[in-house]
Amino acid sequence: MVMNDAALTAVLRRDRVVVLACLLVLVVLAWAYVLWLAADMQMGGMDMTGYRTIPAGMGMMMPAAAPWQRIEFAFVFVMWAVMMVGMMTPSVAPMILIYARVGRQAAAQRQPVAASAWFAGGYLLIWVAFALIATIVQWSIERAGWLNSDMVVTSGILGGLILIAAGLYQWTPIKDACLQQCQSPLQFIQRNGGFRAEPFGSLALGARHGAYCVGCCWVLMALLFVVGVMNVLWIALIMIFVLLEKIIPAGRLVSRIAGIGFIVAGVWLIARSV
């Protein structure tokens, strides 16, 4: 028993390594699933006119005019949820690592790994809720006939409006406020009651941070409807952009420059479609 206790103590002293390893495994699994779905949805170059692909990894298709079934809604929801985990976990990793460090430094608290897991769970729970909203939006766009088999909006005007909206949002006070919360992990923890060892407290704090993160990044996810919901390159680019926004000192400047680019691209897309 003494040996086991000593081994456990040694592991907990390396809590940052344990937490980072768990986050890395989570990201790898999420991206493996996304790449699997993307490869399956290519359908070997088949002509998909009149059909839509179901992101199930099993080559499933449905006539474009057919209503969504419950199983299709579930598959699309899982696609969005796993995609959000793969995209957003890297950008929240610094926050979770700092949370573990604060927990280790707190004299009365000795559960940094468990508490960090609950914190991460609360954060990702908010993004899973966002995935449900994204699924409903995708269903609505598809029902309106504005989404093709590659999950790209068919209306250049709608695509341009999404780009312009994304660009304008990058300049709003809401974006500024949410991004500030995401850029200052230690201050966020201190302003919201500090480290919490109990599961519910850590879960709630993670969910609060997730809400700020959604407020910061939700409009960027809407860009996937313009470039392709399962466009792996753009999924990776958005993931990297979100990470840079949060971790580099010039993140706010990067955000605003990108906003200008989105607006210009949106205007060009609308002009080309008129």
Percent of the chain with pLDDT over 70: 88
| Residue labelled with tokens 């926004």 | 245
Question: Is 169 within a domain?
Answer: yes
Ramachandran angles phi, psi of 57, nearest 5°: 75, 15
| pTM of the complete model | 0.88
Print the domain residue range for 145: 2-44+70-273
| Per-residue pLDDT at 260 exceeds 90 | yes
Question: Is 137 within a domain?
Answer: yes
Question: Is 53 within a domain?
Answer: no
Across the chain, mean pLDDT equals: 87
End-to-end CA distance of the chain: 75
- Give dist(CA 109, CA 93) in Å, integer: 21
pLDDT for 3 equals 41
| Per-residue pLDDT at 46 exceeds 70 | no
Total number of residues shown for the chain: 274
Question: Is 50 within a domain?
Answer: no
Structure tokens at 114: 């468990």
Question: Is 57 within a domain?
Answer: no
- Give dist(CA 233, CA 94) in Å, integer: 24
Question: Is 268 within a domain?
Answer: yes
Question: Is 82 within a domain?
Answer: yes
The number of folded domains in the chain is 1
Question: Is 54 within a domain?
Answer: no
CB 105, CB 50: distance < 8 Å: no
Is the C-alpha dihedral spanning 92, 95, 101, 107 positive or negative?
A: negative
